[in-house]
Structure 1
Amino acid sequence: MNSNHPPTPRTLPTAAAADVPTFGCVVYISTLPDGRKKGRVANLDGIEHTAGTEREVLQRIVPVFKKRVSECLAAGDSVPWIDPILEIDPQEQKRFLPVHL
């Protein structure tokens, strides 16, 4: 380091990143008799998946959720949210996923 020159200060970005819409995806997870996991979206109709693990279920649900919401917004339609959300069954656990489009 050259002692004759002060270090160059690091700067922070001055502009905000473009806003990325985020939507809440409420998923109810249950365990089937065979041990596999089932997930159903509680705030948007018709999205349900079954897989070997909870992680796999969520990995399958998120792209479908994103696609459905994106298509509604691209068409200029409102998203057909279920409000109030579906009731949770006693054997289910609730997961909340913030989904960025």
Structure 2
Amino acid sequence: MKEHSPLASTPVFNCLVHVRQTGSDAYEAVAIELDGVMGQGSTRRDALASVVAKFKTVMADYVARGEAVPWKRPAPAPAPHEQQVFIAVHL
């Protein structure tokens, strides 16, 4: 029987995003619990992919440095023209 190595722990973070349309072919997505983490795209999906990539980079830096994450809590409510999206992000 083959022995398996123990599974490595993969950090998972909750990314709360507000998405809004900013033009006919432009969307903006903001990770509202972290300052300065946002993405843009020509579709809603592109904007979400962009903000998740930036969120992963920022979170990986905090984990690598062993620093506490400066969450902004409680999170602000979305504006009437925004959609709130919850994304589980694995590093």
TM-score bucket (shorter structure): 0.7 to 0.9
- The alpha carbon displacement at 1:70 in A equals 1.1
Q: Amino acid of the residue matched to residue 90 of structure 2? A: H
CA distance in 1, matches of 2:63, 2:5: 26
**1:1-101 paired onto structure 2 within 5 Å:** 17-101=7-91
Q: How many residues align?
A: 90
The 3-state SS of whatever aligns with 1:32 is strand
Moved over 6 A (4+): none
Q: TM-score, normalised by structure 2?
A: 0.85
Gap runs ≥5 in structure 2: none
The 3-state SS of whatever aligns with 1:94 is strand
The 3-state SS of whatever aligns with 1:72 is helix
RMSD value, Cα: 1.9
Q: TM-score, normalised by structure 1?
A: 0.78
- The alpha carbon displacement at 1:54 in A equals 1.0
- The alpha carbon displacement at 1:50 in A equals 2.0
Gap runs ≥5 in structure 1: 1-12
| Larger proportion of strand | 2
CA distance in 2, matches of 1:26, 1:92: 12
